[in-house]
Chains A and B, each alone.
Chain A
Amino acid sequence: MATKTIIKKSALKTEKQSSNGTAKRLEILKTYKIYVGGKFPRTESGRFYEAVNKNGDVLANVCLGSRKDFRDAVVAARTAFGDWSTRAAFNRGQILYRIAEMLEGRKSQFVEELMKQDSSQAEAQNEVETAIDRLIYYAGCTDKYQALFSSVNPVASSHFNFSVPEPTGVVAVIATQNSSLLGLVSMIAPAIAGGNTVVVLASYQKPLCAITFAEVLNSSDVPGGVVNILTGKPAELAIYFADHMDVNAIIYGEADTATKKMIQEKASLNMKRVVWYDGMDWTSPAGQSPYLIMNTQEIKTTWHPIENIGGAKAGY
């Protein structure tokens, strides 16, 4: 349904432009589909909405995702979790670096899309470059954050006692609305750097870069299901993000009080980790930090029995 509408529109446009009888080339427009389990399906609901910019120009028809798309995405994310979370930290770093490489190569496409969505040339340029650098930053963090945040704990018994952060599982993300690319990348990168798999609801108003970013992910050795990107209405889908029993953490990028209350209530059903970013400005220094990785980590403490070490005590 979505494709049909697009073709019709561009066909009309072409007819207008070719008054001298020679038909102009028909531009082929991209169908912005969702990204689930490493594939690009249309929403199961068959619905779509028109993404518009400030002037009211229609930029594209975008999938209006449903709760069943989310359900499928969670299954994909859960399936991918085992493999992704047990990969060596170094390997996860390599893959994040690879995403940055691929993004660098398609910079101009993202700049163009951002400008369509009301960014100035300079803003767009800056947003894409910051997003690339952010990926590099978290690529470097993958094999360091555990060392940073783990500890060896003094205990009174004969145990070697240590605490290590581990990925929490499937993370549901409702992305920041006012940022098409940087917000998305800044919320996904720390979660997957830490070994989680994610299901993201992209910005409703600015969805274009999210789906193009999915194409980048798809060509950068990220296993299918590690990142799943949906487009749709936060007001409709937030409740399912919050109450799904197979989701371990939820990250909310906005500051809407009523939604936050709802998320907290529903998240308590299975004690999801709840993270607020309150419409954070992702270009600010607070936008990247190893502490953001820790937002979706759990601390596991191990008591390992040991013998008393004679030399460690005073005297005989």
Chain B
Amino acid sequence: MAEKTIAVPDFSLSPHVDQVGIEERAARFTKRSIKKETKLNGLLLALNMIDLTTLEGKDSEGKVKQMCYKAMHLLDVYEGLPTVAAVCVYPSMVKTARAALGDSGIHVASVATGFPSGQAPRDVKIRDTKFAVQQGADEVDMVISRGKFLEGEYNYVFDEIAMIKEACGDARLKVILETGELVTYDKVRKASDLAMHAGADFIKTSTGKIAPAATMPVTLVMLEAIRDFYYKTGKMIGMKPAGGISKSKQALHYLVMLNETLGEAWMNNHWFRFGASSLANDVLMQLMKEKTGIYQGKDYFPLD
């Protein structure tokens, strides 16, 4: 039987990132004035891009069911509101989430591969992934082996991502780089290139368990990697910043950055997601503020 082989590019050829330049550029996106109708549409779009997330040791079936209900009924008094894109849970909770969401069209994303540290044997990671998919996850969020990556074992990391991709079957694979542990923008760029070549459908900044999580500059580095990959191969890759995005304003800044880096083709929840738990409520509060003209209080919105 012929082995399927993938040509591994030379990752030492990944372009270097100009730290000062990328931070300046990222800061510029926060200066755009987005008001009235544009703001409203931006908020609705951001809401529709959220992966509503609960990834805690104390997660229970009840908590997951409650979150799924919230995902489907964000704010019933507000007519015509979109739902979130997906809920994101641990593999053990996928079945519960799948059942709770029914035919609402909301995806179930599961973290896998020894989340959040990724310090598990490879066969365990593969079983973890297969279990999540069997339970009904249509998206898998894997973590890379940051230790191996920092040791320079790029082939190891590459092979691992490729194997997990295979284990995913039809489920879309999001590869979490955990940029907070990669130290430099150069490494983030390299890890992005590596993940995309190895078969990632999405690249994702962080687990949310390490600070710093998603930042504008690091997301911009990854968006540029996606852009270059698209020019080279014609293949679109999705982007998911996760962790630390809790305010509507931040979400709008990210959307500006997305639009100005990758363009409109990416401006939907098939290609862009926010990994967040408290962002949804802030967006809802802003939407209600736009609708009623009154500043809102969190007492009147569902719990996260």
Contacts and interface: CB of A to CB of B under 8 A. Distances in A.
B297 A243 contact: no
B300 A244 contact: no
Interface in A217-245: 240, 243-245
A226 to B, nearest CB: 18
B294 A246 contact: no
A243 B294 CA distance: 6
A59 B294 CA distance: 35
Contacts of B294: 243-245, 269
A47 interface: no
B298 interface: yes
Contacts of B296: 245-246
Contacts of A243: 294-295
Nearest to B288: A245
Contacts of B295: 71, 74, 240, 243-246
A17 interface: no
Contacts of B297: 78, 244-247, 270
B264 interface: no
Interface in A184-240: 240
Interface string B283-304: 0000000000011111110000
* Chain A contact residues: helix, strand, loop or mixed: loop
Nearest to A246: B297
Interface residues of B, number: 7
Contacts of A78: 297
Interface in A244-261: 244-247
Nearest to B295: A244
Contacts of A269: 294
Contacts of A74: 295
Contacts of B298: 246
A245 B292 CA distance: 11
Nearest to B300: A245
A38 to B, nearest CB: 20
A37 B76 CA distance: 34
Contacts of A244: 294-295, 297
A78 B285 CA distance: 15
B78 to A, nearest CB: 15
A2 to B, nearest CB: 23
Contacts of A240: 295
A74 B299 CA distance: 14
A301 B294 CA distance: 32
Most buried by B among A243, A245, A270: A245
B164 to A, nearest CB: 41
Interface string A65-100: 000000100100010000000000000000000000
A115 B57 CA distance: 62
A247 B295 CA distance: 10
Interface string A256-293: 00000000000001100000000000000000000000
Nearest to A244: B295
A244 B295 CA distance: 5
Nearest to A247: B297
A269 B295 CA distance: 11
Interface in A141-172: none
A291 B38 CA distance: 49
Contacts of A247: 297
A244 B298 CA distance: 11
A36 B295 CA distance: 17
Interface in B245-297: 294-297
Contacts of B300: 245, 270
Interface string A6-35: 000000000000000000000000000000
A240 B292 CA distance: 13
A198 to B, nearest CB: 16
A247 B297 CA distance: 8
A243 B295 CA distance: 7
Given A245-B294, A269-B294, 16 more contacts: A71-B295, A78-B297, A240-B295, A243-B294, A244-B295, A244-B297, A245-B296, A245-B297, A245-B299, A245-B300, A246-B295, A246-B296, A246-B297, A247-B297, A270-B297, A270-B300
Interface of A: 71, 74, 78, 240, 243-247, 269-270
25 contacts: A71-B295, A74-B295, A78-B297, A240-B295, A243-B294, A243-B295, A244-B294, A244-B295, A244-B297, A245-B294, A245-B295, A245-B296, A245-B297, A245-B299, A245-B300, A246-B295, A246-B296, A246-B297, A246-B298, A246-B299, A247-B297, A269-B294, A270-B297, A270-B299, A270-B300
